Amino acid sequence: MAAASRPRASKAESFVDNKRKEDIRSANINAGRAVADAVRTSLGPKGMDKMISTASGEVIITNDGATILNKMDVLQPAAKMMVELSKSQDSAAGDGTTTVVVLAGALLRVCQSLLASGIHPTVISDALHKSCYKSVDILTAMAVPVELTDRDSLVKSASTSLNSKVVSQYSTLLAPLAVDAVLSVIDPEKPEIVDLRDIKIVKKLGGTVDDTHTVNGLVFDKKVSHAAGGPTRMENANIAVIQFQISPPKTDIEQSIVVSDYTQMDRILKEERNYILGMIKKIKATGCNVLLIQKSILRDAVTDLSLHYLAKAKIMVIKDVERDEIEFVTKTLNCLPIANIEHFRAEKLGHADLVEEASLGDGKILKITGIKDMGRTTSVLVRGSNQLVLDEAERSLHDALCVVRCLVSKRFLIAGGGAPEIELSRQLGAWAKVLHGMEGYCVKSFAEALEVIPYTLAENAGLNPIAIVTELRNKHAQGEINAGINVRKGQITNILEENVVQPLLVSTSAITLATECVRMILKIDDIVTVR
């Protein structure tokens, strides 16, 4: 009797409330899925575009996943992870930013149903990790090696990337342009690395995207200083990039100088004149006849007086060169930036055949061509009829450049059009049957989740997604690895023959990044706000 009346303390204490943890997890998963659903419609060549209106009243039209998510104001922490996910795909591969988010959304959906079945998050996470490694192996086995000398393959993959963009009708022009631009900046000593900072994209309003072209030299969206009737065209130019100011010096601290009579004032003006003249004589002595002057914060880089003297000395002046452009400019001109007048020497100058101002649309640009010993850089002049098209053309061109960069660093091509995803789904499904217990069950679910890509492609193209995906599965089961959705014809064809190809790096990085992100979201069981 005494034993029965004793309270059962241990039982009551061991009960832990798991409801909250499940709520937090499902809230995180729902937030991630909501973000994925927002960009899902803009996947593929027939995807819709998004119009983004910012707080400042600026309007952006795009279907680049990274841009859409970047501009979204996301508050939920797990949804922010999806935004970061598309950013990391943008920096790793440059293309496939929508794909990676849609994939993560589909994986989150299956995780939700697995969690509802009572499987522990850690088990799901480990199974995801294994399937991710397996997927990369399967993709690598499917890939076709490509050589950089095979320009056609590179152009095909660049135009596949451009086909889903707003400017897709110009892909025949922009794809070869992107390929040539990247190939021209590859350093033979480091053939694996392409620095996209060596390709400068200059946007100029007016004309159409058809007028876009590469310039073998330098282009500035600026006009030459016309202040004192200086030259606007210079042949056999010796160019100096200077980082000092050609203007009378100021006191270092805020001081006022009191001038009591005119003789002193004349003396000050005379000194200023002599100071500027002295500088210009030193510049002229080296044979320099074109000056690129960096934008100055402290005081005016040039004054009316110095412009007048420079015009007299027949020196062409381009002022307000941005600070972050200096590195690109000096690399292209093969010269050194000069930080002080005392260091102004002839060997620091760059040489070009022609520097001239050209009228373009309603404005003017400055072109420097025929540069001697030009560095491995290239400039692309992008034109567009309005600002929205211009910005979108620049973003699309950047994606195409990134695709070519992927192929340079990892020289394998893979079919597009949902073919690799269905093949992965099929092989992972077969692999899941070999595994035991929960793991096999989880892998099977992930295999099904990968079908979201072909499903969405078909859905966005207005086809019947269920019929298309079923037929696609059937083709792959018969051993047609490269069968994919041909959106233009609305049926299943061999996608490699249709020239729809993408770099292997885009697919592998999309899958690894998406699984990493989902595993992270799964492992979170509480959100602690710190005040």
Which residues on neighbouring strands pair with residue 503, listed in sequence order? Answer: 413
Euclidean distance between CA atoms 530 and 74, whole angstroms = 19
Catalytic choice (64, 90, 198, 391): 64
| Residue with token string 């792959």 | 476
Please, are residues 512 and 132 in contact by the beta-carbon 8 Å criterion?
yes
Buried b (16+ CB within 10 A) or exposed e, 282-305: ebbebebbbbbbbebeeeebbbeb
Euclidean distance between CA atoms 202 and 379, whole angstroms = 7
Q: Is 399 a catalytic residue?
A: yes
Q: Which residues contact 290 (CB under 8 A, 6 or more apart)?
A: 234, 237, 238, 239, 240, 315, 316, 318, 352, 355
Q: Is 456 a catalytic residue?
A: no
Catalytic choice (95, 399, 456, 515): 399
For residue 503, which of 424, 401, 396, 413 has the smallest C-alpha distance? 413
| Gyration radius from the chain CA atoms | 31
| Long-range contacts, 166-169 (Cβ 8 Å, 24+) | 166/49, 166/61, 166/62, 166/63, 166/389, 166/392, 166/396, 167/209, 167/389, 167/392, 167/393, 167/396, 168/45
Q: Is 211 a catalytic residue?
A: no
Euclidean distance between CA atoms 252 and 138, whole angstroms = 66
Q: Is 97 a catalytic residue?
A: yes
Amino acid letter for position 33: R
Amino acid letter for position 525: D
- Exposed / middle / buried, residue 429 (Cβ in 10 Å: 0-12, 13-18, 19+): middle
Amino acid letter for position 367: K
Catalytic choice (41, 62, 67, 97): 97
SS3 of the chain: helix, strand, coil, percent, to 5: 50, 15, 30
What secondary structure does DSSP assign to 307-342, as a single string? HHHHHHTT-EEEEEE-GGGHHHHHHHHT--EE-SGG
Euclidean distance between CA atoms 464 and 490, whole angstroms = 9
Helices (H) and strands (E) in the chain, counts: 18, 17
Neighbours of 504 (CB within 10 A): 25
Token pair in block for residue 453: 């890509």
Catalytic choice (62, 67, 98, 515): 98
The full 3-state SS of 131-154, as one line of letters, equals HHHHHHHHHHHHCEECCCCCHHHH
Enumerate the H helices of 336-451 as residue ranges.
Answer: 387-409, 419-434, 437-449
Residues carrying an active site annotation: 64, 97-98, 399
